[in-house]
Amino acid sequence: MIKIKKILYPTDFSEPSKIALEYAAELAKQFGAELEILHVMFDETQVVSFYLPQVTMQSLSTDIETGSAKQLDEFIQNQPVLKGINYTTTLIKGTPFIEITKHAKETGADMIVIGTHGRTGLDHVLFGSTAEKVVRKAPCPVFTVRPEK
């Protein structure tokens, strides 16, 4: 029998991500698993160049962290599917697919449940797919959820 004790659910707060949460929550209930909700924040040090004299890197970093934490709290509060589920939240800075796969390995996740935007063609080429990269690099099974068209 498959044992799933820990499910990692990365979110970017998008609609596909919200749909994926329903699956992650249901799987957590079915397996009695812990659900970890992960948001990867923008890493301001990855910006090649920009000039905003009134904003320091330190204040930008603080603003990003504060805003991301608030957004994650609001996202969770509006999710009735989390009722009765043992879950934790984590905020990390970096490149999403790298941090998601690294975090899954470090925390011993048994499964990742992730939403995908379902982009194809030029959109896929231009924007790439975090979910696709996670599937390719993950140390555990990945359940992808694509929104209905």
Question: pLDDT tens, 91-107?
Answer: 999 999 999 999 999 99
Architecture of the 6-145 domain: 3-Layer(aba) Sandwich (3.40)
pLDDT of residue 124: 46
Q: In terms of Cα–Cα distance, which of 86, 78, 90, 89 is closest to 28?
A: 86
Higher pLDDT, 105 or 125: 105
Q: Can you give the pLDDT at residue 105?
A: 98
Q: What distances in angstroms separate CA 144 from CA 10, 49, 51, 52, 114, one per listed residue?
A: 11, 34, 38, 38, 5
pTM for this entry: 0.83
* Paired residues of 34 in beta bridges: 6
Residue 104: Cβ-neighbour burial (10 angstroms; 0-12, 13-18, 19+): buried
> Which pLDDT score is estimated for 140?
97
Per domain, the residue ranges of the chain are 6-145
Determine the Cα–Cα distance for residues 127 and 135; give it in Å rounded to an integer.
16
Express as a percent the part of the chain with pLDDT over 90: 54
pLDDT digits (tens, 9 = 90+) for 54-96: 555 556 667 777 888 888 988 888 889 999 999 999 999 999 9
> In whole angstroms, how large is the CA radius of gyration of the chain?
16
Q: Provide the mean pLDDT of the chain.
A: 84
